[in-house]
A = this chain, B = another copy of it.
Amino acid sequence: MDQTTRNPLLTAPIPMPDWLWEMEKAYADRVIVDDEEKMRFVVDIAVENVRHGTGGPFAAAIFEIRTNRLIALGINTVVPAKQSWAHAEMTAFAHAQNKLDQESLKGCMLVTSCEPCAMCSGATPWSGVERVIYGAPRFMAEKVGFDEGYKGEHWEEEFAKRKIQVVGPMLGEDAYAPFKLYTKKHGEIY
């Protein structure tokens, strides 16, 4: 494409790593009824993201609430994509909205491997999701050096006012698995 004659893009497309695409194909329209099972699935994807070196120790997924059907996956791709906003929840929202060809994810839930940061919790009401479940509490992410930001003291109450149900933390120490691998790999690399 000739950049001198065609418009450049306002935001760059973020490519999907092969392993994530294989996983999305394998799990297309998969129904996972149990919330803990949904969370184990998402935490496993966060582990895979670290294992493949395709981003930080975070993953997310969008499920339809009524049917428990998987809509789309998301991963943290900040460093490979060179985009500071490319957190797992944000790429899950963007990917799901693209697949459904609509900006509202009404009737859907966000399943995220870690408590959403200030940006991602701010983005949640705009996405239209009506339920959020998260795995690791923020201190687990902070323990390995991630900054979660300031989202206000009353964020869960504000979600409740907007009829967005929040459930978490979940899985206890099992939610720490992506961070554990990240620390190990980080220790090896640097």
Contact = CB atoms under 8 A, between A and B. Distances in A.
Q: How many copies does the complex hold?
A: 2
Interface stretch (A36-44, A130-138, A145-153, A173-181): A145-153
A188 interface: no
Interface in A1-51: 7-18, 20-21
A94 B103 contact: no
A134 B102 CA distance: 29
A21 B4 CA distance: 11
A68 interface: no
A70 interface: no
B10 A15 contact: yes
Nearest to A54: B10
Interface residues of A, number: 57
A62 to B, nearest CB: 12
A74 to B, nearest CB: 7
Contacts of A102: 82
Contacts of A101: 82
Given A10-B14, A11-B91, A83-B98, 15 more contacts: A7-B15, A7-B17, A7-B21, A8-B16, A9-B16, A10-B95, A11-B94, A78-B103, A81-B103, A82-B97, A84-B127, A118-B151, A122-B149, A149-B158, A151-B151
Interface of A: 7-18, 20-21, 74-75, 77-79, 81-86, 90-91, 93-95, 97-98, 101-105, 117-123, 125-128, 147, 149-155, 158
